[in-house]
Amino acid sequence: MPTALQTQKLWFTDDRIFIETDGKEVLSQPLRFFWRLQQATEDERNAWKESCFGLHWKNIDEDISFESFRWQDNEETFSHISS
């Protein structure tokens, strides 16, 4: 079983979510995959908790697995997920 990441920092741009791991690796995902986060307020976005599987936002019922931050970010991947 892979070791869980630990998030040292989390931030957003207009179209992406970023995390910095305890190993100083910066990973990101497009917000288009997470409509609840895309529409959330700054306070809602900042109210996250970490679990052994990923990130959780209780107030907006959103979860992002650590594994998903390793997926390729391209239109082909997005097309496959949204099909």
Summarize pLDDT for 26-83 with one digit per residue, the tens. Answer: 999 999 999 999 999 999 999 999 988 899 999 999 999 998 998 876 444 444 444 4
Domains, the chain, ordered by start? 7-78 (3.30.2020.40)
Q: Cβ distance 57 to 47 under 8 Å?
A: yes
Give 48-63 pLDDT, tens digit per residue: 999 888 999 999 999 9
Q: What is the pTM of this model?
A: 0.79
Spatial neighbors of 36 by CB under 8 A, at least 6 apart, are: 57, 60, 61, 62
Q: Is 50 exceeded by the pLDDT of residue 3? A: yes
Spatial neighbors of 40 by CB under 8 A, at least 6 apart, are: 57, 60, 62
Average confidence (pLDDT) over 1-7: 68
Tokens of 40: 């959330």
Q: Which run of H or E residues covers position 81?
A: helix 75-82
Q: Cβ distance 32 to 15 under 8 Å?
A: yes
